[in-house]
């Protein structure tokens, strides 16, 4: 269903403008530290004030406005099949999974284990079959791969198991080059890839207000080669950002705008997402809490901040501190995902598969989250109001004391008007007992087994796979 919901501004425009002003003031007065001589020199040539002793760049307000204006307000994260293209900046909300975790909950054993390369393939195959998860983010770090070839193997197994857009975090320039060489080979040439990139990259500044050498290298490479990128700050209230939510947002906003501006300095018109991963700490015991309600509030506010500049946003929601797919997980995930979606975020990452404050994943949680997201999409599609849907004629036809079960109007609208869940239990008690007392988790386990049994052969053409294995001998088998 298409989004028809009038996105809600949860926060007063005057408050958002104050946060924006505070963020711009940070960039102009405090500045950001740039750990890259080339980038400092490039910024200085464009008119940015540079303190070479401290490596601090300060962005004057006029320069910032001119530079941000070069960033596209709309672009496409392409799929390989052309069916699942993800449109940024067009008023559509899109959900994705989250990535780069190191543990997985194995429901077969009931315990956690380290993630392996096969988990990248499995999660990509799951996302490929789950309609409400619009793109795939490299889900985890494979412990059976040597670090120099993480990204090559991760992207290969992702591309071989989903035709949806693939996004992934990269650690360094060599990792991005591996991804780019592989994706270019799959695309039939790097020019084809730059025109319709079916891969994109996540990189992160270091809060507070620091851009490391690797981050800038990755950002520059992606922008110059037509690969969409998000430079996503992840400040934590009370530790790497002020304890107040408004303070965290003003710093995050400064970092996010700096990332967008740097992208345009490297390559005017580069496809870049405003990145937002603000989160919190339980300061009573110093436990990281990505599933907090305050994180949801800040990400909803970040959507309004990005919209001030007509920038597509990569926001965060759907995370939980729960260690199992349980009631806590359902509460925390549903609340934050709905809140950020109703704000109109272009892309909401972390929203599928994540547990344990973003440190772990679960196959079953992917399937459960897909259903939660489906309900949210139904909310966003709104209530259709027209002469036909008001039903005056059928109400007159049925009249007092009748029923609507078999009338044509019901048959015509029953499939498009309602969300029909796959996992939720909708049967009376006696039938539920006869079926063995199923619940969402047991049904999710069954669906995971079905998807992974039927969809693990790989999607790339066998001849292309043979060529890839010759060109990239570092790719391992699973």
pLDDT at 4 over 70: no
Number of neighbouring beta carbons within 10 Å of residue 56: 16
Q: Is the entire prediction scored with pTM above 0.75? A: yes
Domain ranges within the chain, ordered by starting residue: 1-382+421-478, 387-417
- Residue 107: what pLDDT? 86
pLDDT digits 0-9 by tens, 131-176: 999 999 999 999 999 999 999 999 999 999 999 999 999 999 999 9
Number of neighbouring beta carbons within 10 Å of residue 31: 21
Distances (CA, A) of 263 to 229, 274, 336: 9, 11, 29
pLDDT digits 0-9 by tens, 93-135: 999 999 889 999 998 898 999 999 999 999 999 999 999 999 9
Distances (CA, A) of 325 to 10, 107, 230, 289: 29, 10, 29, 17
- Please tell me what DSSP assigns to residue 400: T
pLDDT digits 0-9 by tens, 181-221: 999 999 999 999 999 999 999 999 999 999 999 999 999 99
Residue 352 and residue 127 in contact, taking contact as beta carbons nearer than 8 Å: yes
| Mean of pLDDT values over 368-380 | 97
- Residue 2: what pLDDT? 56
Q: CATH number for 1-382+421-478: choose from 2.40.50.100, 3.30.9.10, 3.40.980.10, 3.20.20.480.
A: 3.20.20.480
Distances (CA, A) of 444 to 161, 240, 468: 20, 37, 34
pLDDT digits 0-9 by tens, 283-322: 999 999 999 999 999 999 999 999 999 999 999 999 999 9
| Mean of pLDDT values over 351-368 | 97
pLDDT at 375 over 90: yes
- Please tell me what DSSP assigns to residue 356: G
| Mean of pLDDT values over 379-386 | 95
d(CA 307, CA 237): 23
Nearest to 274, CA basis, from 247, 296, 304, 241: 304
Tokens representing 240?
């790497």
Number of neighbouring beta carbons within 10 Å of residue 274: 29
- Residue 54: what pLDDT? 97
| Mean of pLDDT values over 438-448 | 97
Q: Which residues pair with 113 in a beta bridge?
A: 104
- Please tell me what DSSP assigns to residue 96: B
User: Mean pLDDT across the chain, nearest whole number?
Assistant: 96
Burial bucket for residue 459 (CB in 10 Å: 0-12, 13-18, 19+): middle
């Amino acid at each position: 269903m298409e989004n028809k919901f009038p996105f809600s501004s949860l926060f007063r425009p005057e408050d958002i403008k104050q946060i924006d002003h505070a963020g711009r003031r940070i960039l102009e007065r405090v500045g950001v530290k740039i750990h890259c001589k080339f980038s400092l020199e490039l910024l200085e040539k464009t008119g940015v004030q540079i303190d070479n002793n401290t490596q601090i760049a300060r962005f004057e307000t006029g320069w910032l406005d001119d530079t941000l204006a070069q960033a596209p307000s709309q672009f496409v994260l392409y799929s390989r099949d052309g069916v699942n293209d993800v449109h940024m900046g067009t008023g559509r909300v899109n959900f994705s999974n989250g990535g780069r975790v190191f543990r997985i909950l194995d429901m077969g054993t009931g315990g956690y284990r380290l993630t392996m390369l096969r988990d990248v393939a499995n999660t990509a195959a799951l996302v490929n079959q789950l309609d409400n998860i619009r793109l795939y983010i490299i889900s985890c770090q494979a412990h059976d791969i040597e670090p120099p070839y993480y990204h090559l193997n991760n992207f290969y197994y992702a591309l071989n198991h989903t035709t949806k857009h693939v996004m992934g975090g990269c650690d360094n320039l060599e990792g991005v080059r591996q991804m780019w060489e592989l994706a270019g080979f799959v695309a039939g040439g790097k020019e084809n890839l730059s025109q319709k990139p079916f891969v994109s990259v996540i990189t992160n500044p270091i809060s507070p207000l620091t851009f490391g050498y690797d981050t800038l290298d990755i950002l520059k490479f992606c922008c110059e080669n037509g690969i969409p990128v998000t430079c996503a700050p992840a400040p934590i209230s009370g530790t790497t950002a002020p304890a107040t939510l408004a303070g965290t947002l003003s710093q995050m906003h400064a970092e996010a705008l700096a990332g967008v501006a740097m992208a345009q300095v490297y390559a005017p018109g580069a496809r870049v997402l405003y990145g937002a991963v603000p989160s919190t700490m339980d300061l009573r015991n110093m436990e990281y809490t990505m599933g907090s309600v305050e994180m949801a509030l800040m990400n909803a506010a970040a959507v309004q901040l990005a919209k001030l500049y007509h920038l597509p946003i990569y926001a965060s929601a759907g995370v939980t501190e729960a260690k199992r797919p349980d009631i806590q997980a359902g509460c925390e995930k549903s609340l934050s995902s709905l809140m950020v979606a109703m704000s109109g975020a272009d892309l909401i990452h972390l929203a599928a598969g994540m547990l344990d404050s973003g440190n772990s994943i679960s196959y079953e949680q992917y399937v459960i989250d897909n259903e939660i997201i489906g309900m949210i999409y139904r909310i966003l599609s709104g209530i259709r109001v027209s002469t036909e849907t008001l039903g005056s004629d059928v109400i007159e036809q049925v009249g007092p004391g009748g029923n609507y079960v078999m009338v044509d109007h019901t048959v015509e609208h029953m499939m498009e008007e309602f969300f029909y869940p796959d996992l939720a239990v909708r049967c009376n008690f006696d039938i539920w007992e006869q079926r063995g007392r199923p619940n969402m988790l047991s049904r999710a386990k069954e669906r995971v087994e079905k998807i992974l049994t039927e969809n693990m052969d790989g999607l790339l053409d066998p001849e292309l796979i043979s060529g890839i294995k010759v060109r990239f001998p570092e790719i391992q088998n699973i």
